[in-house]
Structure 1
């Protein structure tokens, strides 16, 4: 299964590399303000899905651009795919982006591949067999003090994100560590924790395809990953913190007050106290959320001066 995932990631990487040579003619659509999708995302995703389903036609697919449109709907095996993590970087020619592919069985990630096509770096892991960069075994850093730690993060960028909350988190972490970095591709950031380049990483607003592969690579490299309160329920909670064990613990202490995770018992209690008006309002919101929106094609052109 790992070899098939690597084959799919390299196929997508070849598409991305070819497109990066001629960004002038790239067609770009806007999913929401500051959230872009290109024809390259779609072509790379199609290549990945074709490769995976050719080998495993009975598996499910959860992909960033096409959701669960492809594959078996009720399979215990689900491939979680981000064909181009770091699209904004890509369309600006900033060479920090990657392909991320994970295989989950009954909700537990078993295989992971993150491919950086600009550097030809292949991060991969199989549950219980360690994590690797190309042929080198990965281990998280051995630093133990926050004052020595280099921390990766991601800034909120979507309309409706809680910027004030993030600025408070940013200030607390920044004043306690050696430095903060924000390259703009979460899947690579997680791999950098596994490789020991970072000592920890945190971000809010992420989706399963952003973190599924990186989460296994981190744990197989000896690191820890969870939500802001240190629990393992992070894949669908839209908040994540990861790091070497000592730094992870200190990051959880800093970030726990900022958690937005809703506990199951709290959700159940809230559900029993809903009014009829609440139910109607939620139904309307859900309908609006899934309503198709027109995506106006945008073409990037370089000026003559460039």
Structure 2
């Protein structure tokens, strides 16, 4: 199966998943805690519903693949897989559990077990009909229309989002604090995959995540969508492997001058540029 056909199939799967998730929420069952996922977070009924529906849909599309998911971790499906599928059944579970309408479902596709091997991504907004996707080298799209990042090049004109969680990863707030007095506006929205799609379509100008603050399953689909829409992204730490759930930090910005200005103020360590294969 070629990547275009696979992506079309994944988009269909996520439309079905969105429908099942909303049905689960409307029934009142979706927000119940039913266990712990592979990432260590509480699993809501709606997480399980989404995960089960995604896995079934992917197995209908592909006979063989590797799957890395927030709920089940890393598994091999079939006897001879060549693609790695990175799934976050619900990104923004806290928002969802409180009824805040900002959550998403994401799937990234890689031809190698590393971040640099990404070749496609899909992110579906749970609370709207908006679906974002990209294929490496072909640009990024929202509902079939090509999208592009903004041209904002100065921090004083930029609207950006940050991810901080002092309880889980102390130090993140101090790492991004220098940005608060320099930028036009800072937002904390709660679904990094969807935030990266907002960057891709020019609604915001940068996404800033301190080291070890998000899981690879949360971010990878959004990272390649933003990159294909023109964003520049650098990430921190060792090369992210797609065979286990790992945490990373990154800065994704609409322009190189804006990225450089953010880097000069945050000074995150071990920066590497995300550069998917051509």
Write the distance in 1 (CA, Å) between the matches of 2:27 and 2:71: 22
Write the distance in 1 (CA, Å) between the matches of 2:34 and 2:58: 26
Q: Which runs of 5+ in 2 are unaligned?
A: 1-5, 273-278
Q: 2:263 matched to 1:252?
A: yes
Q: Which runs of 5+ in 1 are unaligned?
A: 263-306
TM-score when normalising by structure 2 = 0.84
Partner-residue secondary structure (3-state), 1:53: helix
Q: 2:22 matched to 1:17?
A: yes
Partner-residue secondary structure (3-state), 1:132: strand
Give the equivalent residue in structure 1 for 2:72: 66
Q: Which structure: greater helix fraction? A: 1
Q: 2:240 matched to 1:240?
A: no
Write the distance in 1 (CA, Å) between the matches of 2:161 and 2:58: 31
Give the equivalent residue in structure 2 for 1:4: 9
Write the distance in 1 (CA, Å) between the matches of 2:105 and 2:167: 22
Write the distance in 2 (CA, Å) between the matches of 1:25 and 1:130: 35
Over the residues paired in the alignment, what is the CA RMSD in angstroms?
A: 2.5
Q: Which moved more, 1:55-64 or 1:66-75?
A: 66-75
Contact 2:163 2:188 in 1 (8 A): yes
Task: Number of aligned residue pairs: give it.
Answer: 255
Q: Deviations over 1:16-39 (max 9, x none)?
A: 11122244673214649x943211
Give the equivalent residue in structure 2 for 1:142: 151
Give the equivalent residue in structure 2 for 1:207: 215
Q: CA deviation at 1:68?
A: 1.6
Q: 1:24 to 1:76 in 2, by over 3 A?
A: closer
Q: CA deviation at 1:75?
A: 3.1
Q: Which has the larger radius of gyration?
A: 1
Q: 2:195 matched to 1:184?
A: no
Q: 2:53 matched to 1:47?
A: yes
Q: 1:3 to 1:142 in 2, by over 3 A?
A: same
Q: Deviations over 1:36-72 (max 9, x none)?
A: 3211111111111111122211111111101123524
Q: Which structure: greater strand fraction? A: 2
Q: CA deviation at 1:74?
A: 7.1
Contact 1:225 1:232 in 2 (8 A): no
Q: CA deviation at 1:169?
A: 2.3
Q: CA deviation at 1:80?
A: 0.3
